[in-house]
Amino acid sequence: MSETVLVTGGAGYIGSHACKALAAAGHIPVTYDNLSRGRRHAVRWGPLVEGDVGDRAAVAAALKAHGVASVMHFAAYAYVGESGTDPALYYRNNVIGTLTLLDAMRDTGVERIVFSSTCATYGMPETTPIKETMPQRPVNPYGETKLAIERALRWYGEAYGLRSVALRYFNAAGCDRGGEIGEQHDPETHLIPLTLRAALGFGPPIAIFGTDYPTPDGTAIRDYIHVEDLAIAHVRALGYLAEGGTSSAVNLATGRGYSVREIIAAVTKAAGRDVPQRESPRRLGDPPTLIADPSLAETLLGWRAEYSDLDTIVRTALAWEQRQHNAAGEPRN
């Protein structure tokens, strides 16, 4: 069944890939984005409504005007470090903004939402792989704001009949295999794009944050998931809710982790160049290992990662970085 879906943050990294996946599945994505961190040129598979999720009347108007059946909510700030230095920004945008969006949904009778949550809601897990039933104890404001909304969704479901799937992403990585959209953060803080830029000579040497972790090579291990796999999971969650599925929270991950040094090795191989690097102290609040058990997503949504092998992740991210820098006319070496 084809649906019109309001995609908040549809001009961002994961949101734009979700729009492409929605269109490929026969749905109509209506991007709702204030373009504060999103990119107009990433909106290519449906209309763009410029607006803020904190503007209840504007969201309600967009929901009505487009005959929206469901919402995918990506619009949020997502820098862990920034959330620590400016928590007010994060509470205002991620919590108040989302609650306002939920009000607008209630105003217009839209009752289904797929919500971008995060592994940061688990904090420093005592054991891995992480299951959805494990305690959620965030260690930064970013994770707190996402957990606050997960909890609100539960109560809004009981009181107002809102149904939701909260998707707890592990490390989103890679870019559209078709090369149409990619990862474009400003500033970029993520390991894979920064390592690629170091290899290509477009950025400084990569700083390895911590070499004394209790892991086989001493560097931190993460469960990297290809952004196209994330996008497909959102489409599956939409279908699950449309078929009457009950509210749930689900990990999106592969169940396999890679260390920082393994990522650097994969980039070295893909780029065919050594990666300039330096060892640095641990980054505050970074757990040694974050690996999820993804089996609930398979049981509930019929989803499992298809494109998240490290080679595909690094290859698609490399192609995107090269294209970005060629387009910008930056010197290459």
Q: Which residues bind ligand UDP (CB under 6 A)?
A: 80, 171, 189-191, 194, 206-209, 220, 222, 260, 283, 286
Q: How far is the CB of 17 from ligand UDP (least distance, A)?
A: 17
Whole-number Å distance between alpha carbons of 199 and 183: 17
> Given the complex with ligand UDP, which of 269 and 278 has the nearer CB atom?
278
Q: CB of residue 213 vs ligand UDP: minimum separation in angstroms?
A: 8
Residue least distant from ligand UDP (Cβ)? 220
In 3D space, the residue among 170, 330, 187, 201 whose CA is nearest the CA of residue 267 turns out to be: 201
Min dist CB 162 to ligand UDP, Å, is 28
Residue 142 is among the residues annotated as catalytic for this protein: yes
Q: Which is nearer to ligand UDP, 147 or 260 (CB)?
A: 260
Long-range contacts of 241-246 (CB under 8 A, 24+ apart): 241/70, 241/112, 241/114, 241/163, 241/164, 241/165, 242/1, 242/3, 242/69, 242/70, 242/112, 245/163, 245/165, 245/300, 246/163
Q: How far is the CB of 290 from ligand UDP (least distance, A)?
A: 7
The two structure tokens encoding residue 233: 């999971």
Query: Of the two residues 62 and 233, which places its CB atom closer to ligand UDP in the complex?
Result: 233
Q: Which residue in 32, 90, 122, 142 is the catalytic one? A: 142
Which tokens belong to 329?
């006319």
> Closest CB to ligand UDP among 103 and 188?
188
**Closest CB to ligand UDP among 91 and 209?**
209
Q: How far is the CB of 305 from ligand UDP (least distance, A)?
A: 17
Active site members: 142
